[in-house]
């Protein structure tokens, strides 16, 4: 089958002369527009702004988060952006915004951790191990005020009662390898420890534990009724403690914290470049990011935040100078807290969800080679077929080719480099569906806003004290800025006239996805393979149909698309999917909007019950980011698909899953009224 398939692909490529982009060709924008954007976008400008906000510990609701908002507002005014607005959405730890329970603001005033040494009959300070003022990442988020002079006890993971055998913890500090919130139930609540010292390691990558000086950003439970504090230390410091404790040495520490939660608000800043069309200006193409995270948080996510600020500056300047025409649709720029802020925004201000038609989202886009980062221009979830992510990938492919030619000494048109940056090829990975940021909310089944998601992964310094401006590459910022600006500008100006070049791009993308699909077929049973092929071709046709959500499509392009897909289906052999009995249909509850996995809590666990939720088998079907099956299962609920069709769609997207497991999950969602039966 496979050799024949590739022969057929070659036939199709020959039969449809739609002009595959080379290193010298941009499929969607005129060369003059590329040159203008390349000349104006500045990686250095983005990095200068990044260096400022990396000085701020940008935690939700905090004074330093507000300083970051004020800084962006001042820059937007300086750059001449329009309709600049700073606003807040209240948080009190109780109010729900869709599926997100609002987390109270958290502030810290003082925190120090000292090792003590004996002095006569008492103890005196020996060395300061952690200090909020110099390194705020050493205090776990949501720590509460407290003070203790106490002995240190090593509890290892601290998540099982076996970890506490033959240990007395009352009134002592515990050393753990786990996340701070994971040890609270036993270490603090049951065994009486007064505080936590954690050396929790970073997200697992090939570089995990390689640098023993890294200190991870830690978290206590945002909604926990048990108030305690935790200091974060490096693996090197923890290993030193463990060796001394193993040899019977007493380790005495003094901890003091002034911090706590309070009612507050999610803060936002937004601005626009107004569209020119009397009707289409009501439609918006949004550039989004999340502004929060620990200090320094340079790549995560000062990089995304400052890159969209640079896009705003460059586009507005070029339009004011008459070098670029204004878009027909409005371009909006939004800075918000990650995920929780986006859920609150789209629920509290539904006009955003109504007007925004596409999102260009940036979360970690500046990692230099020292971070070991791989840049991604991600693909779309199958629940939301759209040409939007294909636009980003097509432009990303162009930048890949141009920068590879430049780095290799070959002929090129644009190097897309910054004078203070690197010269390596971009080598962006294109098309893989990745979760893990605010685009999950926009694209979720409640809102259905397609997104281009740009991000670095892996990154060995994410969420640590080494995520510093020194590790940010201005060239990478400029390239991400170009892909975002070019994508947004093209989509903002999409009309019937531009559907032909767009369709030529979609053909290429469709052939690429079809090739990947065929590569999966030999790994599946004949029944599952038939389901995969059937779902694949349905998806590809819906990608083309998504044009109509933006503009009319000429009869010629429509006819060509139908012919293309028909021939492709004939070449591969589209087959019917799985035949089983399942007629139950569910629809979304319009009163509950947002994904189930949120920040600080989980809507499903909170409402269904954590013990019962752990028995739901679909939650054990995990993808790259952990909860893809859960995320897409809910997204596929649309009032039309049966449970069987949802199972088929999930299996085609991620791999086979039994029908009864999908049914079990949907019945559980219906019991808490996230979804409703269609009568």
Calpha distance 339→105 (Å, rounded): 15
Model confidence at 120: pLDDT above 70: yes
Mean pLDDT of the chain: 94
461 vs 623 pLDDT, higher one = 461
> pTM surpassing 0.85?
yes
Which range of 21-25, 50-54, 206-210, 569-573 scores highest in mean pLDDT? It is 50-54
Rounded alpha-carbon distances, angstroms, from residue 574 to 13, 530, 533? 19, 7, 6
377-426 pLDDT, tens digit per residue, is 999 999 999 999 999 999 999 999 999 999 999 999 999 999 999 999 99
For the chain, how many residues are written? 679
Residue 497 confidence (pLDDT): 95
Phi, psi of 507 (to 5 degrees): -55, -50
Model confidence at 7: pLDDT above 70: no
Ranges 4-8, 77-81, 151-155, 514-518: which has the least confidence: 4-8
Model confidence at 577: pLDDT above 70: no
Calpha distance 448→450 (Å, rounded): 6
Model confidence at 13: pLDDT above 70: no
In this prediction, residues 560-577 reach a mean pLDDT of: 86
Residue 575 confidence (pLDDT): 66
What is the CB neighbour count within 10 angstroms for residue 305?
28
Phi, psi of 178 (to 5 degrees): -95, 170
Residue 1 confidence (pLDDT): 43
Residue 625 confidence (pLDDT): 63
Residue 617 confidence (pLDDT): 96
For residues 101 and 600, the answer to whether their CB atoms sit within 8 Å is yes
Q: How far is CA 157 from the centre of its chain?
A: 28
188-209 pLDDT, tens digit per residue, is 999 999 999 999 998 889 999 9
Residue 23 confidence (pLDDT): 42
Residue 590 confidence (pLDDT): 96
Model confidence at 447: pLDDT above 70: yes
Model confidence at 663: pLDDT above 60: yes
Residue 2 confidence (pLDDT): 46
Residue 578 confidence (pLDDT): 56
Helix, strand, coil share of the chain (percent; to 5): 45, 20, 35
263-310 pLDDT, tens digit per residue, is 999 999 999 999 999 999 999 999 999 999 999 999 999 999 999 999
Q: How is the chain split into domains, by residue range?
A: 2-18+496-572, 45-102+264-492, 105-262, 586-677
Tell me, what DSSP letter sits at residue 185?
I
**pLDDT level of residue 622 (50, 70, 90 thresholds):** confident
Calpha distance 545→535 (Å, rounded): 15
Calpha distance 377→497 (Å, rounded): 26
Model confidence at 506: pLDDT above 70: yes
Q: Is 622 helix (H, G, I), strand (E, B) or coil?
A: coil
Calpha distance 266→355 (Å, rounded): 21
Model confidence at 661: pLDDT above 50: yes
Joined together, the tokens standing for residue 64 give 């330093």
Percent of all residues in the chain with a pLDDT value above 90, rounded to a whole number? 91
In this prediction, residues 569-594 reach a mean pLDDT of: 81
Model confidence at 655: pLDDT above 80: yes
Model confidence at 623: pLDDT above 90: no
Model confidence at 487: pLDDT above 80: yes
Residue whose tokens read 């539904």: 350
Residue whose tokens read 């170009």: 482
> Cα dihedral sign for 233, 239, 245, 251?
negative
Residue 17 confidence (pLDDT): 41
Residue 576 confidence (pLDDT): 64
Residue 24 confidence (pLDDT): 52
Joined together, the tokens standing for residue 158 give 């601290």
For residues 455 and 367, the answer to whether their CB atoms sit within 8 Å is no
In this prediction, residues 317-327 reach a mean pLDDT of: 98
| Domain 45-102+264-492 CATH (choose: 3.30.470.20, 3.40.630.10, 3.20.20.80, 3.40.30.10) | 3.40.630.10
CATH annotation of 105-262 = 3.50.30.30
**pLDDT level of residue 580 (50, 70, 90 thresholds):** low
Residue 572 confidence (pLDDT): 86
């Amino acid at each position: 089958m496979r050799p024949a398939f590739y022969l057929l692909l070659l036939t199709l490529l020959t039969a449809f002369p739609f002009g595959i982009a080379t290193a010298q060709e941009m499929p969607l924008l005129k060369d003059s527009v590329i040159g203008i954007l390349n000349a104006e976008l500045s990686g250095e400008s983005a990095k200068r702004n990044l260096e400022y906000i990396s000085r701020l510990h940008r935690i939700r609701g905090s004074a330093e988060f507000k300083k970051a908002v004020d800084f962006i507002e001042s820059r937007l005014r300086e750059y001449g952006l329009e309709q600049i607005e700073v606003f807040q959405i209240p948080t009190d730890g109780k109010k729900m915004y869709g599926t997100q329970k609002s987390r109270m603001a958290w502030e810290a005033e003082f925190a120090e951790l000292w090792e003590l040494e004996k002095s006569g009959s008492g103890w005196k300070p020996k060395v300061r191990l952690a200090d909020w003022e110099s390194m705020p990442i050493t205090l776990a988020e949501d720590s509460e005020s407290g003070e203790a002079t106490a002995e240190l006890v090593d509890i290892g993971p601290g998540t099982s009662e076996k970890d506490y055998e033959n240990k007395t913890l009352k009134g002592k500090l515990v050393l753990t390898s786990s996340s701070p919130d994971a040890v609270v139930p036993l270490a603090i609540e049951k065994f009486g420890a007064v505080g936590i010292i954690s050396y929790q390691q970073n997200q697992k990558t090939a570089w995990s534990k390689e640098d023993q000086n890294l200190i991870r950003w830690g978290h206590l439970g945002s909604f926990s009724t048990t108030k305690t504090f935790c200091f974060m230390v490096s693996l090197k410091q923890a290993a030193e403690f463990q060796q001394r404790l193993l040899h019977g040495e007493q380790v005495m520490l003094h901890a003091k914290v002034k911090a706590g939660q309070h009612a507050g608000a999610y803060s936002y800043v937004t601005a626009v470049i107004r569209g020119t069309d009397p009707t289409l200006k009501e439609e918006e193409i949004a550039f989004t990011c999340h502004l929060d995270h620990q200090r320094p948080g340079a790549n995560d996510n000062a990089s995304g935040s400052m890159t969209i600020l640079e896009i705003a500056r460059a586009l507005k300047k070029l339009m004011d100078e008459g070098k670029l025409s204004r878009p027909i649709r409005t371009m909006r720029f939004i800075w918000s807290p990650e995920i929780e802020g986006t859920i609150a925004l789209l629920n509290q201000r539904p006009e955003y969800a109504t007007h925004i038609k596409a999102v260009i989202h940036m979360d970690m886009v500046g990692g230099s080679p020292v971070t070991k980062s791989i840049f991604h221009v991600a693909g779309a979830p199958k629940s939301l077929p759209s040409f939007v992510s294909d636009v980003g990938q097509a432009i990303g492919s162009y930048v890949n080719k141009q920068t590879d030619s430049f780095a290799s000494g070959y002929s090129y048109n644009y190097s897309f480099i910054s004078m203070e940056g690197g010269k390596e090829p971009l080598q962006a990975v294109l098309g893989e569906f990745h979760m893990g940021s605010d685009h999950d909310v926009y694209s979720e089944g409640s809102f259905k806003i397609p997104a281009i998601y740009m991000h670095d992964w892996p990154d060995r310094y994410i969420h640590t004290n080494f995520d510093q401006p020194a590790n940010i590459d201005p060239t990478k910022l400029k390239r991400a800025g170009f892909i975002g600006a070019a994508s947004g500008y093209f989509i903002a100006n999409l009309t019937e006239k531009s559907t032909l070049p767009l369709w030529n791009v979609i053909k290429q993308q469709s052939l690429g996805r079809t090739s990947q699909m065929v590569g999966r077929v030999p790994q599946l049973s004949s029944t599952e393979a038939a389901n995969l092929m059937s779902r694949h071709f349905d998806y590809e046709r819906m990608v083309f149909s998504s044009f109509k959500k933006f503009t009319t499509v000429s009869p010629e392009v429509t006819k060509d698309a139908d012919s293309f897909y028909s021939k492709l289906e004939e070449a591969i052999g589209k087959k019917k999917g799985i035949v089983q009995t399942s007629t139950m249909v569910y629809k979304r509850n319009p009163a509950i909007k947002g994904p189930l996995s949120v920040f600080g809590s989980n809507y499903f666990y909170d409402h269904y019950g954590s013990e019962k939720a752990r028995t739901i088998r679909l939650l054990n079907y995990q993808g790259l980011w952990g909860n893809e099956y859960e995320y897409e299962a809910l997204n596929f609920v649309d009032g039309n698909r049966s449970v069987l069709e949802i199972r088929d769609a999930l299996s085609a997207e991620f791999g086979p899953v039994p029908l009864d497991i999908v049914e079990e999950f949907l019945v559980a969602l219906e019991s808490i009224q996230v979804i409703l039966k269609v009568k």
